[in-house]
Chains A and B, each alone.
Chain A
Amino acid sequence: MSGDLGDVADRVVGWARDGEAVEIVVGRSRHTEVRAYRGDVESLSAAESMGVGIRVVQGDRQGFAYAGTLDDEVLAETLADARDNAAFATPDPHVGLAEPDGVAVPDIDLFRPSLLAVPTDRKVALALELEAAVLAADPRITGVESAEFVDASGESCVASTTGIRSESASTACYVSVSCLAEADGVTQTGFGFSVGRELDDLVPADAVDDAARRATRLLGATKPASTRTTVVLDPYVTAQVIGVIGSTLSGEAVLKGRSPFADRLGDEVAASIVTLVDDASNPLAYTASATDGEGLASRRTPLIVDGVLRSFVHDSYSARRAGTVSTGNAVRGGFKSTPGAGCRALALEPGDLDQAALLRDVGDGVLISSVIGLHSGVNPVSGDFSTGAEGLRIVDGVEGAPLREFTIASTLPRMLRDVAAVGADVDWLPMRAAGVSLVIRDVTISGT
């Protein structure tokens, strides 16, 4: 179905002049979003987006330009802009496009035609049912902030004069709900979602249960006293923290002197139970895809094995500069940006215990159910880690009173070493990292 995108890509690649390398990424996506509010459709959006990004390498210089259209005339102008831009870059012998590396592209099917056949009425009904269900889930639930159904299908093609040609298509859909619960005049919030590639994958009841449980269990929350203690991160929180740790393992951050792990390959950087793998070829991952942003095969890269730092992730530029090969980790934010080296689908190797068993082992501590402000209080260069949090006290090995308005703080290198257990409850969330319960010792809680 992406034949016409492939045609566009081939045409632009064919316009390359002698002595220059040209890469094009071309993409098109469609999405529907239905929001329910008070038993009615609050909004229904339907749209198609498309665009191209063109990279030109002339000698040791690279230029880039993009456009949000596939008109032939604009394509030619965009290529000309990218050429013109290249003239202003500082020469760098490592600049260049990816070249086919012989690694087999994994055969993963991320496209479900059934999603395209779902009538709008069914999508509307899903959003309305979701809102009604969360309101009925618990008498303390007083309102719904948002209840929505979203689906999207996308196709893209990366092609270059160096022999790259990769076409892909995928579908995704989710339901997501955020509700308000109230007791004694104080409001708490909770969210839940369910994600899939087609409608049958969705379990709206899970989203409803999560949202209702998250909101109601925080009712009556108080601010804890400052202390140092063991924390258990909920899978959703772990995924966010692992995502930040992943950013410090980018080959680009390492080469440019922005990673606290730069000189640590082969060192024990984490507790021996920590094994961290990046693998976008795993179809369970929300961010799975057969190829990366430069069209190279997605592959499995162990980053930390039994606590020892084994590898960073590379795209073709950082690999060339580091004297190694790409790990298939070129990440791009759509057609409007050039690729950079980054983790794509991280997961911690799970342990043997579910969360309840982990809490029993911990005995006393704090279960962190959500964090806020990772972008403002975590510095992946210095390693300082501080984030706002909500959660539950862990008392005698079980969930206790709810807590709010406190922070948890440590440093990223210390947290990796202080990991005491990884749960068995792997959850593939709509993020670049999988969730799993994680126990970390000796974290500072700041409250009263």
Chain B
Amino acid sequence: MIEEAVLGRVLSAALVGGGEFSEVFAEDRRGTTAVFDDGRIEQLSSGRDRGAGVRVIAGDTTGYAHTSDLSEAGLLAAAEAAGAAARHGGGGANVVALERRPTTHPSTVEVLPDDVPKARKVELLRRADDAARSAGGAVSQVSARYGDSRRRILVANSDGLLTSDDQVRTLFSVGVVATGDTGMQTGRQSVGHTIGFELFDRYPVEDLAERAARRAVTKLAARPAPSGEMPVVIGAGGGGVLFHEACGHGLEADLVAKGASVYRDRVGEQVASPLVTLVDDGTVADEWGCFGIDDEGSPARRNVLIEDGVLTDYMWDHTRARREGRPRSGNGRRQSYQHLPMVRMTNTFLLNGTDDPDDIVAGTDQGIYVAQLGGGSVNTATGDFVFGMWEAYLIEDGEITEPLREGNLIGNGPAVLLDIEALGDDFAMGSPGTCGKDGQGVPVGDGVPTLRVRSLTVGGTAA
């Protein structure tokens, strides 16, 4: 993308004002999106975006400037702007000679989406629509979306690092509306992996469509969700967002350092039930949140955050690790070259327990079973978090009974972690997610085995 000699000159120019560290992050992103809705292919769209951001650190101050002009002149202008922003520093470091470091990407792409004719991409959409509509007369509307992206990044910094990555992601989602006497209900299902078009050999779009349709149709007979505190069983693969919100964000070192996390100063303490071992792992091949290097050039890593209930470590980016004098953990990510990196999760999941999932349900007197959670949110400073339920049922006398309408559940992270009282042996990864923080979205994955929380507050309207 950019010649090595140019990178060296830009990194040096960025330090002229007195910075201690400079970095160039360049990105070239291309993608295709195809949307099917209301019985027709609405639109195929394609886009390209290319640019670079220059970061300069001086003391505790970071300067940043970005440009879509990748010529030497454009990059030098960004370097000057970033350097000026950080001019309070007294460093005056030199750029170490760049040394190219090879990247090992966890995934292997078999079929680049760019090499696939557009007609084959839109054909998938028609197939999904057919499959969803054949799921029953109650299906009244279907939308399907295909998306692929190829993101090539390059990171060079004044410590001499020069490295790059090529990230290909492919995504497909189906949304179904079912209509009946009780009104309308929706069902959604998506699949996304950090691989190419071979995604569709592994996951037929018909399966997704049928699942989304069944979800919508089932909910036509749903009753309002209950309200109040009760045991909640979460199905394998359907509930990773629980841990993403209950503790994932709170273990991001930038929030911890600002005192905005209920998990600050708690490394080494029992913060969760001994059943809980939580891992954040950017190296899991093919998963939505995997990559070769993070957006600061650190290789992806497997990091154990909570082991047998004991908090072992937080997640780190360059800025926080540098300040604490410790290694980075491969969690420095950004949405695009137009953003500063910060601490972000990758694939965050709970390891298997030993319980039989059927026993977990059978051992629950009264409560709810959530097969698929929706999105969630957390206030990391208080630990209070919510997550939605897309597919949920009542549990009565140890059996899954009636479907429930949608709603949020609310809990407090530290309390819920201690309340995990049963953990299955049926681990599964969940659906692809986009995690939002400070206005930046990045792809993340999650996963859990079947588990039971002793008590969560279910936010329905029924008594």
Contacts and interface: CB of A to CB of B under 8 A. Distances in A.
A239 interface: no
B45 A338 contact: yes
A171 interface: no
Interface string B20-53: 0000000000000010011111111111111101
Contacts of B42: 62, 89-90, 92
A375 B388 CA distance: 8
Nearest to A218: B382
B343 to A, nearest CB: 14
Contacts of A40: 59-61, 88
Q: What's the interface size class on A, roughly? A: 35 or more
Contacts of A338: 43, 45
A27 to B, nearest CB: 12
Given A44-B61, A180-B260, A260-B183, A85 B177 contact: no
Main SS at interface, chain A: strand
B177 A381 contact: yes
B63 interface: yes
A447 B410 CA distance: 9
Contact of A405 (B47, B183, B262, B411): B411
B92 to A, nearest CB: 18
A217 to B, nearest CB: 14
Contact of A41 (B61, B186, B229, B259): B61
Given A67-B47, A257-B177, A336-B47, A90 B184 contact: no
B393 interface: no
Contact of B386 (A43, A66, A143, A377): A377
Contact of B407 (A69, A92, A409): A409
Main SS at interface, chain B: strand
Interface stretch (B151-159, B353-361, B370-378): B370-378
A6 B460 CA distance: 52
B167 interface: no
B14 interface: no
A377 B68 CA distance: 38
A44 B62 contact: yes
A257 B386 contact: no
Contacts of B385: 372, 388
- Select the residue from A37, A337, A407, A445 with max chain B CB neighbours within 10 A: A407
Interface in A94-130: 120
Interface in A175-196: 180, 186-189
A65 B45 contact: yes
B68 A382 contact: no
Contacts of B458: 446
Q: What's the interface size class on B, roughly? A: 35 or more
A363 interface: no
Contact of B86 (A44, A65, A74, A85): A44
A104 B408 CA distance: 45
A406 B47 CA distance: 43
Nearest to B373: A376
Interface string B168-202: 00000000010100011110000000000000000
A409 B461 contact: yes
B280 interface: no
B251 interface: no
Nearest to A78: B48
B68 A42 contact: no
A189 B258 CA distance: 12
Contact of B381 (A82, A189, A444): A189
A382 B179 CA distance: 9
A405 to B, nearest CB: 5
A201 interface: no
A85 B384 contact: no
Contacts of B388: 373, 375-377, 386
Contacts of A90: 39-42
Interface string A33-69: 0000110111111111111000000000011111111
Nearest to B47: A66
A256 interface: yes
B335 interface: no
Given A189-B379, A257-B141, A372-B384, A388 B49 contact: no
A446 B230 CA distance: 11
B459 interface: yes
Given A62-B43, A88-B119, A88-B122, A409 B459 contact: yes
A258 interface: yes
Contacts of A267: none
A45 B376 contact: no
Contacts of A409: 225, 227, 407, 459-461
Nearest to A215: B381
A143 B460 contact: no
Given A388-B459, A446-B458, A256 B67 contact: no
Interface string B227-259: 111000000000000000000000000010011
A381 B186 CA distance: 7
Contact of B459 (A47, A255, A381, A386): A386
A188 B460 CA distance: 25
A377 B459 contact: yes
A142 interface: yes
A404 interface: yes
Given A41-B88, A446-B458, A64 B45 contact: yes
Given A143-B259, A447-B457, A407 B184 contact: no
B60 A37 contact: yes
A428 B404 CA distance: 37
B406 interface: yes
Nearest to B376: A376
B366 interface: no
A42 B62 contact: yes
Contacts of B409: 407
A20 interface: no
A302 B76 CA distance: 51
Interface in B393-409: 405-409
B228 to A, nearest CB: 5
Contacts of B45: 63-66, 82, 85, 337-338
B428 interface: no
A143 B82 CA distance: 27
Interface string A139-161: 00011110000000000000000
A410 interface: yes
Contacts of A168: none
Given A256-B37, A386-B459, A44 B408 contact: no
B62 A386 contact: no
B314 interface: no
Contacts of A411: 461
Given A40-B60, A65-B46, A405-B410, A46 B38 contact: no
B183 A187 contact: no
Contact of A388 (B86, B183, B386): B386
A445 B255 CA distance: 30
A386 B462 CA distance: 12
A81 interface: yes
Nearest to A442: B461
Contacts of A223: 457
Contacts of B375: 373, 375-376
Given A42-B60, A49-B66, A377-B407, 9 more contacts: A41-B85, A42-B62, A44-B62, A49-B68, A145-B260, A226-B228, A377-B388, A390-B384, A407-B410
8 nearest A-B residue pairs (beta carbon): A407-B459, A376-B388, A377-B408, A90-B40, A386-B407, A373-B386, A446-B227, A44-B85
13 contacts: A45-B63, A45-B85, A47-B64, A120-B85, A180-B381, A187-B382, A226-B227, A258-B184, A373-B386, A373-B408, A382-B186, A388-B386, A407-B386
Interface of B: 34, 37-51, 53, 59-68, 81-82, 84-86, 88, 118-119, 122, 140-141, 177, 179, 183-186, 219, 225, 227-229, 255, 258-260, 262, 338, 340, 374-379, 381-382, 384-388, 405-412, 457-461, 463
